[in-house]
């Protein structure tokens, strides 16, 4: 039973909406990562902040659901609202589900409230515990749209929204839903930013994936939302795979065995050989160990090479939203206007790590090879959690 990604709404550091994001993405724009102050005491850090004006939470929900994470998610949802409303009219409110991956949800607003409580001994009037619940973004969309189908959040760190797409496909295959809103949203937040800073995992300049000079991540924020149905659409979710190697709480298996397992599972699920993958969006965080692991894993699964790139030097690492955002980049390549089929370039210093297998990193202006139709996207996370998606041309 096939599952199609019929519509996409997206907002990130590259812009708001498919057209703006695609123009900046395929052009390798360096505007997304900029120094930001106010998050780490006493210093600026380069981050991928979404600078578009965000829509207000509808008045009926403002008292309980108003936080930046929901406003970011709403911006993505409004881009495809007509598609969503049409699906609800066609299938009914009880047959449309919502699954959203996140790792920060509204924790920034919640922690500010906790700070006020510790200082003043009383909760501020706008404090809502529900802001920090991991299912809150999904619940917000369901309440706004008056949906009665399955509704839940997934939080598996940086694979969260990739797994949301896999779970949405499962609901369609089981016949529980006829349409599912799925994707992810995460916003810049003091808790993870200072956590990564404490781990000394953040680069003080633009991140440099797979370079011998790589020195850590830039953190970003994004929302990417798909409408998935069984109805034929422009892009198909051909397959997906997941694994958990549980090697370490924060470090990946240095051999990349869990990453290999996820990629091979996705290929098997899609009924494809590695040679049929035309592009791979790498997880590519620009940390020493993740890039080394992924290079080894990609070399093992694709011994003859595959065009690939990491887009995190353009957007920052958007944590729980990264899986859906980078799947969205594959969607934009497949749906590229005029059949240009452009690919996201790998923006870096061009200095590969000589200790790692060589990767076929695409440069500015690359296009999907004639006849190419299968694109893969990797997401890896703390705790050895791995997920791989394969999107393809549905024509």
131 is catalytic: no
Q: Closest Cα partner for 145 from 106, 185, 184, 181?
A: 181
Catalytic residue among 151, 177, 189, 283: 283
CB 384 within 8 Å of CB 250: no
User: What Rg, from alpha-carbon coordinates, does the chain have?
Assistant: 20
Cα-based distances in Å from 21 to 119, 365, 371: 41, 16, 25
Task: Say if strands 34-40 and 43-48 run parallel, antiparallel, or are unpaired.
Answer: antiparallel
Closest CA to 282 of 308, 315, 306, 251: 308
Q: Which residue has tokens 């911006």?
A: 75
**Residue among 12, 177, 317, 374 flagged as catalytic:** 317
Q: Is 151 a catalytic residue?
A: no
* 330 flagged as catalytic: no
- The C-alpha atoms of residue 240 and residue 237 are separated, in whole angstroms, by 8
Closest to 281 (Cα-Cα) out of 302, 260, 308, 261 = 308
The kind and range of the H/E element at 163 are: helix 160-174
Which pair of structure tokens corresponds to residue 127? Answer: 């404090």
Catalytic residue among 12, 131, 151, 158: 158
CA angle 292, 312, 221 (to 5 degrees): 130
CB atoms under 10 Å from CB of 249, counted, come to: 8
Q: Which residues pair with 183 in a beta bridge?
A: 100, 225
User: Phi/psi at 96 (nearest 5 deg)?
Assistant: -115, 125
Supply the residues annotated as catalytic: 158, 283, 317
């Amino acid at each position: 039973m096939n599952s199609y990604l019929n519509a996409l709404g997206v907002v990130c550091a590259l812009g708001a909406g498919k057209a703006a994001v695609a123009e900046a993405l395929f052009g390798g724009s360096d505007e997304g990562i900029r120094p930001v102050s106010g998050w780490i005491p006493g210093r600026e850090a380069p981050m991928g902040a979404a600078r578009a004006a965000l829509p207000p939470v509808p008045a009926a929900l403002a008292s309980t659901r108003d936080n930046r994470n929901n406003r970011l998610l709403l911006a993505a949802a409004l881009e495809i609202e007509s598609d969503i409303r049409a699906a609800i009219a066609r299938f009914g409110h009880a047959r449309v589900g919502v699954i959203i991956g996140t790792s920060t949800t509204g924790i920034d607003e919640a922690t500010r409230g906790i700070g006020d409580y510790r200082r003043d001994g009383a909760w501020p009037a706008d404090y809502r515990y529900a802001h920090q619940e991991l299912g809150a973004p999904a619940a917000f969309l369901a309440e706004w749209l008056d949906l009665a189908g399955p509704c839940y959040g997934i939080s598996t760190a940086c694979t969260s929204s990739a797994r949301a797409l896999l779970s949405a496909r499962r609901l369609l295959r089981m016949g529980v839903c006829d349409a599912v809103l799925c994707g992810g949203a995460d916003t810049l937040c003091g808790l993870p930013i200072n956590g990564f800073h404490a781990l000394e995992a953040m680069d003080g300049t633009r991140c440099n994936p797979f370079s011998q000079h790589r020195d850590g991540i830039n953190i970003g924020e994004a929302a990417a939302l798909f409408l998935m149905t069984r109805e034929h659409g422009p892009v198909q979710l051909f397959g997906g795979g997941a694994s958990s190697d549980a090697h370490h709480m924060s470090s990946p298996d240095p051999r990349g065995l869990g990453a290999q397992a996820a990629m091979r599972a996705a290929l098997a699920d899609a009924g494809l050989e590695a040679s049929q993958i035309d592009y791979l969006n790498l997880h590519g965080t620009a940390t020493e160990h993740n890039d080394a692991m992924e290079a080894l894993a990609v070399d093992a699964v694709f011994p003859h090479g595959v065009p690939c790139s990491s887009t995190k030097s353009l957007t920052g690492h958007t944590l729980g939203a990264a899986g859906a955002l980078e799947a969205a980049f594959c969607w934009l390549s497949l749906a590229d206007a005029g059949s240009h089929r452009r690919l996201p370039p790998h923006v870096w210093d061009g200095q590969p790590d000589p200790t790692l297998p060589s990767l076929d990193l695409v440069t500015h202006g690359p296009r999907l090879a004639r006849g190419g139709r299968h694109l893969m996207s990797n997401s890896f996370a703390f705790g050895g959690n791995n997920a791989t998606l394969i999107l393809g041309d549905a024509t």
